[in-house]
Structure 1
Amino acid sequence: MTPKIRYVLYLGFFILSFGLIHCSGGGSPETDPGGRSTPLAENTETITIPAEQTPDDTGKTDGFDVPQKYKEAQISIYSHIGGNAIEMAACASSEGIDMDEDNVPDHLDNCPSDYNPRQDDLNTNGIGDICEKSFPLGKTDHFFFNGSIAIDFEGNVFTLDQNYHRVEKFNSEGKFLQKFGHYGANAGEFSFPSAISMDTMGQFYIVDLSNSTAQVRNRVQQFSPQGNFINQWGTVGSNPSQFFHIEDRPLIHVNNNIYIVDGGNHRVQIFSNDGSFIKTIGSQGLADGQFMFPRKIWSDSAGFIYVNDTIYEVNKLGHIDSTKRIASRIQKFNSEGTFLNKWLSSKVGFLHLVTDQSANIYILQTDPPNIKKISSNGTVLKEWGSSGNGDGQFISPSGILIDQNNDIYIVDPIKHDVQKFDAEGAFLMKWSIEESDDKAFFRYNFTIDSDNNLYVVNPYAHRIHKINTTLGCITKFGSLFAEKQDGKFKNPSAIAIDATGNIYTIDTRDHLMLNFDARIQKFSSNGMFLQKFGEKKEVTFERLSDVAVDSTGNVYVIDQNRIDKYSSNGAFLKTLIENSDPKITFSNVALDPNGNIYVAEFLSIPPPAPPVPRIRKFDSEGNFLKIFLTADPSFVGYRIASDTQGSIYVITPNNLIQKVTPEGTLIKQWGSHGTGNGQFQFPQGITTDLSGNIYISDSKDYRIQKFNSDGEYLTTWNLEALLRNKMSYIIDLATDAIGNLYVVNPTQNLIHKFDTNGNELFE
């Protein structure tokens, strides 16, 4: 509100309180066909004048030109000042005045006294939620940010808002632009939008789940870049094009097919971009090419697919005990779902993997933290990372990214930092959040844009951090909101960047990410709010665990213990990989630049031995190629990332980062427990940039370390100074095309942006 308007209002209310003026008195001209002579005399049932029923040419009712119930509420707000104040409020709301400066004129604003550009009205009574003091804002108090965002080629960021069941669009500066969608079961409506992906044509694929026990649904909906509904597919079941819990966002492959993780069916389904079913990858079991509850899927620049699943303990009756996870694995497939290779971890499950342009795989794991770089054939090329607070060390790394230079970025929630490495694991630099109330910084979600900016999701700070990896500065945007405000967060949990630098964030509402009411918000590269989207809708998918997309837009989905292939339009194409072995649990899927598929899974073995994590590799047709397995029990970990060369970087439980070829051959490894450069205490996040550098976050040290592709330490971003609460941790991070790093701060509901030198640009 401008000082001039404030002055006028204060003066007017003062005069009215002494009864010195009368605003309308019956002489005001009638401006619509309603037959009333004054704005006050129109649609004001709370005073003794009958309500006018005829709307004017604005499409609104008269008076304030907003719904009748809203007028009643606003009149009651001003009524304590005096009778004439009611008329002043009506007169002051004439066309052209915008008291709250939200770019919505007061005569069209459902709450002109408070900034609310989105005009949220959860109970659809015509009164803005932010203005309706008596309305229970239980839902609008929570911004459920579940980790899935999308970025278009212009840099616009699209986020899902699960409270309002819609999609929101932001520009690269974080400015709100557009919203579409609403609650419902029809086409273009949402019940529980949980994940979003975008193909090369700018079309959206949104996973819509049900949070109702009475109605269980899993479906994928396809929208145009303008938000117009195009297609939908998916129902609950185990047949082709049916799902039992979609676990991850649709993976848009380089071949434009869509891969969807069908976790409850232990498979990934592949569809064409028109929704036609192509094939299924995998089935329930522990054998190569099979899955046990797959959860994540990735692809690399060569088109290979990587799927992560979990191996659980099997009791004496042969039943899987889902409460006792004993191992994790990643399997690699080609774009057709042929198994190629696998990687295993005997301790913990994968968090993530990335691949480089040479199809090397970078796998991030923890307990103790470690990153492995693996060749496309499964050979471990490099391994680095250890537990500690030093540079190159991790405490609980949870996210990994790779930029266009093949630099690796790893986020560590406990250390509250993002570390950058080259493709060989050499520490380059790190970013840390130092503010005292920002300590609940990261968990694991972050992404990178085409400029190599990293975006890290911080659900506890309700913000996103952007790290400019070139200049080394950090910026952040977003904050905690109470009434569903644009550009603010409640527990943001995941982040992604499009080719032009726009940021997409998921707001989970709950720090445990239980996916009650999430939304996606879109921001510009400078944190300007642009848009939100994803209105609630009836569910058609159930129990999908992970998804990956190839270079042509096909989507690979883990559906229980199979991998199905879909087109970019959601058409089921074929089942590539089926798993019939109940001892195998799918976890994640990823693709390399050649279209091969990698599936991370767990192989359950008789207790007391823990399940064996492994990675299986398939070709693009789903044909099994190889199992990635070594004698080292820490070979596979929580997080994996791939660079542009196809190499895979893995964070292992012993604070090592391993770099392996697409074939699973160890190329290099580095890292150890500690607080020095190249050491880790609790590494959790890992990502790579386009130059092949690696970024690893350490949750315990509040820092992000940067390494080159050989694991050589480059630099550190120390984020502790930006954190304000020692309980905070890094939730996610990402890099853009020029090396900026974006860090999500869930506790303070902020996103921080850093340049390549670790300097904060904005928040």
Structure 2
Amino acid sequence: MKKKTVYKLMSGIVILTIAAYAAIYFLNMQSVVKKAPNVIDPNAPPTFSQLIYGDFDNSLDKPMDVAKIGEFLYVSDTNNKRVQVFDTSGTSFFKFGKEGEGKGDFKFPYGITGDKEGNVYVADLYNGKISIFEPKGKFIKYFEDKDKVLKSPAGLRIYDEKLYVTDVQQNKVYVFKLSGEKLLEIKAGANDKDTFKAPNAIALDKKSDELFISDSGNQRILAYDSKGNYIRTINGSKDGNGSSVFVNPRGIGVDSRGILYVVNNLSHTIYGFNEKGKQVFTFGSMGDQNEQFYLPNGLYVDDNDRVYITDTLNERVALYY
């Protein structure tokens, strides 16, 4: 047999051997991946990531609420009478609004939300209006409250083409069409005698369609079904009727696990509750270090389970994963 033929046969055997080992290795790795156990704690608190202050010339001053709309983070920079816009790494992009009474001006910008087109809705607690802006901050119009029921809009959220609004001074919670017609006034509890006291924030559990409202003055979170019917009260006690763990609960949000986050404003902490309303974690304390807060207020959970918290008197937004 010629040498060239021998070399070709030997080379072919080597290549086939390597290919066989590679196939066996790949199959083994696949089986390892498939058999790997899920070690993530379903009730674990999020992990601290970073703090967002704004840049030197445009630092935040009393940020009250935060929302991720499209690819950007919108923060109500309340004492500066404007909205600041960041990417999720904390880089400042632009700002809009100023103090005044004209179109696009603010007295006390508070709650923020966005629609599917990326338009930004900002509630002004003091002028009683909700302003609508293009994603880059150009004023479009005021939200048309056709029934003229709003006086002090605070918390805002848009779900399924409906705008949910808390009215702090009137102790009311309303649901509107985006065109301005009032659809519903949500009742405070199980009976007509129960009333809200300074309702603050709204959140939806997309898995269960449960709606949550922070009833700040009554130290509780109220849960509702998709039609606005009261389901239960969450306050850290076994049945929701005992002593509350809350002291002025404010911002709320729900992650993909169904964990409900609650900002406990006056204790400078964040609580986590599972789908049964049982408290599963708490984090934070009073201070100005990482993982500390000073009167936190707003909270937003994005589609990737990033948690954004406005640390109001520390003048920053805390980001957790």
TM category (shorter chain) comes to 0.5 to 0.7
Aligned to 2:313, what secondary structure does the other structure show?
coil
Q: 1-side partners of 2:168 and 2:234: how far apart?
A: 20
Contact 1:259 1:271 in 2 (8 A): yes
Q: Distance in 1 between matches of 2:92 and 2:245?
A: 46
| Identity score, percent | 20
Picking from 127, 133, 141, the partner of 1:333 is: 133
After TM superposition, list the pairs within 5 Å mapping 1:363-402 onto structure 2: 363-385=165-187, 393-402=195-204
Give the unaligned 5+ runs of structure 1: 1-155, 157-169, 181-192, 194-205, 209-218, 220-233, 237-242, 312-326, 524-763
| SS of match in other structure, 2:181 | strand
Please state if 1:455 is matched with 2:261. yes
Alignment of 1:351 onto 2:222: no
Give the aligned partner of residue 514 of structure 1: 313
Q: 1:483 to 1:373 in 2, by over 3 A?
A: closer
Matched, 1:173 2:44: yes
Q: Is 1:430 paired with 2:229?
A: no
Deviations 1:162-181 (A, max 9, x none): xxxxxxxx9972386x777x
How many Å separate the matches in 1 of 2:229 and 2:213?
Answer: 12
SS at match of 1:339: strand
Residues 339 and 488 of structure 1: CA distance in aligned 2, closer, same or farther (over 3 Å)? closer
Evaluate the alpha carbon distance shift between residue 401 and residue 364 of structure 1 in structure 2; reply closer, same or farther with a 3 A threshold: same
**1:133 alignment counterpart:** none
Within the candidate set 63, 67, 70, 1:247 is matched to 63
Task: Give the TM-score, by structure 2 length.
Answer: 0.63
In terms of fraction of residues, the more helix-rich structure is 2
Q: Which runs of 5+ in 2 are unaligned?
A: 1-39
1:600-639 equivalences in 2 (<5 Å): none
Q: Is the 8 A contact 2:273 2:281 kept in 1?
A: no
Q: What amino acid does structure 2 have at the position aligned with 1:174?
A: P
**1:450-507 deviation digits (Å, cap 9, x = unpaired):** 23321112244554332333xx23124237869999988786655443546565666x
Kindly tell me: are residues 261 and 367 of structure 1, through their superposed partners in 2, closer, same or farther at Cα, counting changes over 3 Å?
closer
Structure 2 match to 1:207: 53
The residue correspondences of 1:27-106 to structure 2 (distance < 5 A) are none
- 2:112 matches 1:306: no
Shift, 1:300, TM fit: 3.0
TM-score, with normalisation over the residues of structure 1?
0.30
C-alpha contact 2:284 2:291 (8 A) present in aligned 1: no
Residue number in structure 1 paired with 2:212: 409
Write the distance in 1 (CA, Å) between the matches of 2:307 and 2:86. 27
Corresponding residue of 1:529: none
SS at match of 1:414: helix
Which residue of structure 1 aligns with residue 18 of structure 2?
none
CA separation in 2, counterparts of 1:171 and 1:417? Answer: 24
Q: Say whether the 8 Å CA contact 2:111–2:122 is kept in structure 1.
A: yes
SS in 2 for 1:424: coil
**Preserved contact between residue 264 and residue 270 of structure 2 (Cα < 8 Å):** yes
| Structure 1 position 466 matched with structure 2 position 272 | yes
Q: Tell me if structure 2 keeps the 8 A contact 1:309–1:328.
A: yes
- CA apart distance, 1:433: 2.7
Letter in 1 for 2:196: F
Q: CA deviation at 1:353?
A: 0.8
Distance, in Å, in 1 between the alignment partners of 2:295 and 2:97 is: 34
- Paired amino acid for 1:397: P
Cα offset for 1:406?
4.5
Q: Say whether the 8 Å CA contact 2:287–2:294 is kept in structure 1.
A: no
Distance of aligned partners of 1:302 and 1:426 in 2 relative to their CA distance in 1, 3 Å threshold: farther
Contact kept in structure 1, 2:171 and 2:199, CA below 8 Å: yes
How much has 1:361 moved relative to structure 2?
Answer: 0.3
Give the CA deviation at 1:371.
1.2
Measured in 1, the distance between the counterparts of 2:291 and 2:99 equals: 42
Quote the Cα distance in structure 1 between the aligned partners of 2:297 and 2:176: 28
Which of 108, 112, 129 is the aligned partner of 1:297? 112
Write the letter of the residue equivalent to 1:468: N
State the aligned residue count: 274
Q: Deviations over 1:656-711 (max 9, x none)?
A: xxxxxxxxxxxxxxxxxxxxxxxxxxxxxxxxxxxxxxxxxxxxxxxxxxxxxxxx
Residues 1:460 and 1:263: Cα distance change in structure 2 (over 3 Å): closer
CA distance in 2, matches of 1:271, 1:483: 24
1:595 corresponds in structure 2 to: none
Secondary structure in 2 matching 1:478: strand
- In 1: Cα distance, 2:141 partner to 2:298 partner: 29
- Residue by residue over 1:105-163, the C-alpha shift from the partner in whole angstroms, topping out at 9 and shown as x without a partner, is xxxxxxxxxxxxxxxxxxxxxxxxxxxxxxxxxxxxxxxxxxxxxxxxxxx9xxxxxxx
Question: Distance between the aligned counterparts of 1:385 and 1:282, measured in 2?
Answer: 34
- For 2:199, the aligned partner's letter is P
CA distance in 1, matches of 2:167, 2:274: 25
How far is 1:364 from its partner? Answer: 0.8
The answer on 1:342 being equivalent to 2:143 is yes
Instruction: Give 2:143's aligned amino acid.
Output: K
Contact 1:409–1:421 (8 Å) recurs in 2: yes
Q: Which residue of 2 aligns with 1:754?
A: none
Alpha carbons of structure 1 residues 441 and 265: separation in structure 2 relative to 1, 3 Å: closer
2:113 maps to a residue whose letter is W
1:475 corresponds to = 279
RMSD: 4.6
Q: Is the 8 A contact 2:267 2:285 kept in 1?
A: no
Alpha-carbon shift at residue 437 of structure 1 (Å): 7.1
Distance 1:402 1:293, change over 3 A: same
The structure-2 alpha-carbon separation of the partners of 1:403 and 1:302, relative to structure 1 and needing over 3 Å to count, comes to farther
Does residue 444 in structure 1 map to residue 266 in structure 2? no
Aligned partners of 2:163 and 2:216: how far apart in 1? 22
Contact 2:66 2:111 (C-alpha < 8 Å) held by counterparts: no
- Which residue among 290, 301, 308 is the counterpart of 1:497? 301
Residue 221 of structure 2 is aligned to residue 418 of structure 1: yes
Q: Which amino acid aligns with 1:207?
A: Y
Q: Distance in 1 between matches of 2:271 and 2:180?
A: 34
CA contact (8 A) 1:445 1:457 kept: yes
The 3 A distance-change label for structure 1 pair 400 and 287 is same
Contact 1:478 1:488 in 2 (8 A): no
- TM-superposed CA distance for 1:333, in Å, is 3.0
Contact 2:210/2:224 (8 A) holds in 1:
yes
What is the alpha-carbon distance in structure 2 between the residues aligned to residue 504 and residue 273 of structure 1? Answer: 10
8 A contact 2:271–2:283 mirrored in 1: no
Counterpart amino acid of 2:202? I
**Contact in 1 for aligned 2:187/2:230 (Cα 8 Å):** no
Larger of the two Rg values belongs to structure: 1
What is the CA-CA distance between 1:265 and the residue it aligns to?
6.0
